[in-house]
């Protein structure tokens, strides 16, 4: 079974530029998550989708971050314009669905962003 | 509010010995799940073990076991017979689903170094 796929793996951009990250979840997983992990900290949820609907985007900085999951499968996270403090690893994850506490959330390898 | 606490920023263990990584949590939800993830330097978040709040027995997965003490709200990870490849960051996480979005809340992590 293929895992969660993410690209690009690494990205370096200048502040005020834009960047987009792509994620393809595990086949059949209805719930998709984007987490931000700053170096030395635990991941923080940015946005959660159930199929193509948003379940939670309370911690997404909506003035600069946007995300979509148009067909309920793969997803794109965009940052525009980027700030220095956006330097982090962006982790995409998926699970069968969110209503069962036992459904494991599986993560991709992450997209490392450096803003200079 | 959900909270996960990992009080050990860093731990050392000798190869082939056992090590316990501490995790305490705080929740008012009777239904929740507790997870441990391993994050090597490559960045991927690897699922290790899961414990449900209603599970009567402690979870085990190979060399990993979870010491679940519900009354104390602790969920410590025990790694037996440590190997050099166990050197990584370890995160404890909790998931509530009652009236919630089922997102994972992570602790700050513990860095484990296995010495030869």
Residues A105, B104: C-beta atoms closer than 8 Å: yes
The pLDDT, as a whole number, for residue A1 is 64
Can you tell me the distance from the alpha carbon of A37 to that of A72, in angstroms, rounded to the nearest whole number? 24
For B107, the closest chain A residue by CA position comes to A42
For B49, the closest chain A residue by CA position comes to A104
Model confidence band, residue B2 (pLDDT cutoffs 50, 70, 90): low
Model confidence band, residue B98 (pLDDT cutoffs 50, 70, 90): low
- Contact yes or no for B33/B95 (Cβ under 8 A): yes
If you search the block for the tokens 């009652």, which residue do you land on? B98
Residues A42, B97: C-beta atoms closer than 8 Å: no
What is the total residue count of chain B?
A: 116
Can you tell me the distance from the alpha carbon of B82 to that of B59, in angstroms, rounded to the nearest whole number? 18
Pick from A42, A88, A95, A98 the residue to mutate for testing the B interface (most B CBs within 10 Å): A42
Model confidence band, residue A35 (pLDDT cutoffs 50, 70, 90): very high
Residues A100, B91: C-beta atoms closer than 8 Å: no
Residues B97, A107: C-beta atoms closer than 8 Å: no
A50-109: per-residue pLDDT in tens?
Answer: 988 998 999 999 999 999 998 889 999 999 999 999 999 999 999 987 666 677 889 999
User: Per-residue pLDDT for B69 more than 90?
Assistant: yes
Task: Tell me, letter by letter, the H, E, C secondary structure of chain A.
Answer: CCCCEEECCEEEECCCCCEEEEEECCCCCCEEEEEEECCCCCCEEEEEEECCEEEECCCCCCCCEEEECCCCCCEEEEECCCCHHHCEEEEEEEECCCCCCCCCCEECCCEEEEEC
B20-58: per-residue pLDDT in tens?
Answer: 999 999 988 888 899 999 999 988 899 999 999 999 999
Residues A43, B43: C-beta atoms closer than 8 Å: no
* Chain B contact present for A101, CB below 8 A: yes
B5-20: per-residue pLDDT in tens?
Answer: 999 999 999 999 999 9
The pLDDT, as a whole number, for residue B28 is 87
The pLDDT, as a whole number, for residue B115 is 96
The dihedral over CA atoms of B24, B26, B30, B33, expressed in degrees to the nearest 10, equals -50
CA of B86 to nearest chain A CA: how many angstroms apart? 18
């Amino acid at each position: 079974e293929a895992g969660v796929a993410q690209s690009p793996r690494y990205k370096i951009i200048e502040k005020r530029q834009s960047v987009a990250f792509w994620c393809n979840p595990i086949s059949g997983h209805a719930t998709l998550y984007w987490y931000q992990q700053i170096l030395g900290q635990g991941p923080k949820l940015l946005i959660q989708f159930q199929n193509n609907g948003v379940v939670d985007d309370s911690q997404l900085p909506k003035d600069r971050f946007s995300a979509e999951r148009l067909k309920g499968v793969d997803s794109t996270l965009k940052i525009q314009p980027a700030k220095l403090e956006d330097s982090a690893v962006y982790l995409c994850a998926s699970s069968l669905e969110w209503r069962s506490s036992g459904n494991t959330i599986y993560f991709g390898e992450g997209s490392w962003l450096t803003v200079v | 509010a959900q909270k996960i606490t990992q009080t050990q920023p860093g731990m050392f263990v000798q190869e082939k010995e056992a090590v316990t990584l501490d995790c305490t949590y705080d929740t008012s939800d009777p239904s929740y799940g507790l997870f441990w993830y391993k994050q090597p330097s490559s960045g991927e978040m690897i699922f290790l073990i899961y414990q449900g709040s209603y599970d009567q027995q402690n979870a085990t997965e190979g060399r990993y076991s979870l010491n679940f003490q519900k009354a104390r709200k602790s969920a410590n990870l025990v790694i037996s017979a440590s190997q050099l490849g166990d050197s990584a960051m370890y995160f404890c996480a909790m998931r509530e689903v009652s009236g919630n979005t089922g997102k994972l809340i992570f602790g700050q992590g513990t860095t484990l170094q296995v010495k030869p």
